[in-house]
Each structure stands twice: as structure tokens, then as C-alpha cells.
Amino acid sequence: MYRKIGILCAGDSELAPFLPHLEHARTSEKALLKFYEGTLCGLPAVLLYSGVCKVNAAIAAQLLIDVCRADAIINAGTAGGMDPALKIFETAVSTETAYHDVAEDILTDFHPWMKSVWFPADTALLTLAKAAAEKRPPEYPVHFGRMVTGEAFITDEGRQSINARFAPLTVDMETAAVAHVCHVNGVPFLAIRTVTDTADHSGTGNFELNCEKASAIAKDFTLALLEEMKARA
């Protein structure tokens, strides 16, 4: 189905759970980034962490495509929960993603002249994710919906405005940038993000407390998706 899957994480703590599962691993470096290439669930894959924020994520995504020849990218890691229904350690899968801090006409009235501000997830990857979600144990629920991205960590300030404008499941600092790069390159994209903090348990302290476990859960679901992919190859 795909020649090589790119797994892009924002931070090293989000990447770390994947590395023990990467077989025949070799590393390379470019643009201050370290790429881990090998096989994951029996599929060719290349993994890295980009660093936090939109520009870092965009650089990493373009290098995955141009240098590593990834022909599908999964953005895996953690996020803040925005929908009140989401609880800490529950996982969100993107159906579409947008910037919450970019004027809407920037992307629709100018290059790349999009029909909407939303970058849609790849339908084939979504199908695989839904199949994987059906097999997840009930204590690790998976939700499908919108994600939004901006340059600031969202605690309480701005939460209400973002929810009113976009009604997202989650918020983070990279997903839309990766989706943007994939969109202009015609590369399939999907994001898998596990919640570390919510409106009731907000702030960087909760992120730091919950990041390790949330990253492991996001890894588990990403590998479950890859197993579905391998089964249908």
C-alpha cells in the first residue's frame, strides 16, 4: 500500500516508545534532525522527532518526503483535550485539522487557494484507523474528529474562543503544519494524539505529568494501525 511510512513526533518523549519496536534500525542526520529508519510492524518506516512548533514540524515533514521518500506520514504523540468529552489518556484521530491562529483567508484567498481552512485526513488511513479502533480495549477509547494547531500551549486563555470557532477534539502545536506540508505534496496524512491535559486538568504541569504514559498509548494505537496496514498489504 505504501512504500515507506513516516512517523513524526514533536518531542523525544513522544518518539521514545517507538524506538524499541524499530527493527534493522539505522540513523542519519540532516538539518539538525536525527532520522531512524528500519522496519516497524514489518513495514518500511522512518521516524523522528521534529521539535515543538509549526516550523520545526514542517521542516521535518518536508525532509521525510524529499530525503527519506516517505509516501505517507503519521503525526503521533500527545495533545491537549478541547472537547469536554475527552479525558486524559484518551486518543484522538484527526478527520481534519486547521490552524487556530492563522487568518482564514490566508489559505483560501492566496496560495495554496484551498477550498476551506481544513486539511482533511487521508481516507485510506482513516479506514485503517477505524478498523484498529474497533479492536482497542474499552479502557483506551479512540475518538475521531477535528484537531487544531497554534504556536502557543493552550491552558485556560483562548480555550473558549477556539472551541467556539472550530469545535476541535484536541489542540497542539504541530499537526496542521504537517498536514499542510502533506497537502501541498499530495502525501497521505493522519494524526494520532493522546490527551495529556484538559480544561479541568490544564497547564504544562499536567502535560509533563502525563506525557510519558500518553505517548506510550499513542504509540500503541499507531502500531495497531500499522498492523492493519500490513494485514491488508
Positions annotated as catalytic residues are 14, 197
Q: How many CB atoms lie within 10 A of CB 186?
A: 8
Half-sphere exposure of 166 (CA within 13 A, CB side): 30
Contacts for 63 with CB less than 8 Å, ≥ 6 apart: 30, 31, 33, 35
The residues that bridge with 76 in the sheet, in sequence order, are 192
Cell of 78: 500527545
**DSSP 8-state assignment for residue 78:** E
- Is 35 in contact with 15 (CB distance < 8 Å)? no
Query: Interhelix angle for 54-66 vs 175-185, to 10°?
Result: 30
Q: What proportions of the chain, in percent to the nearest 5, are helix, strand and coil?
A: 35, 30, 35
How far apart are the C-alpha atoms of 128 and 131, rounded to whole Å?
A: 5
Place of cell 499513542: 218
Nearest CA to 65 out of 16, 127, 15, 3 is that of 3
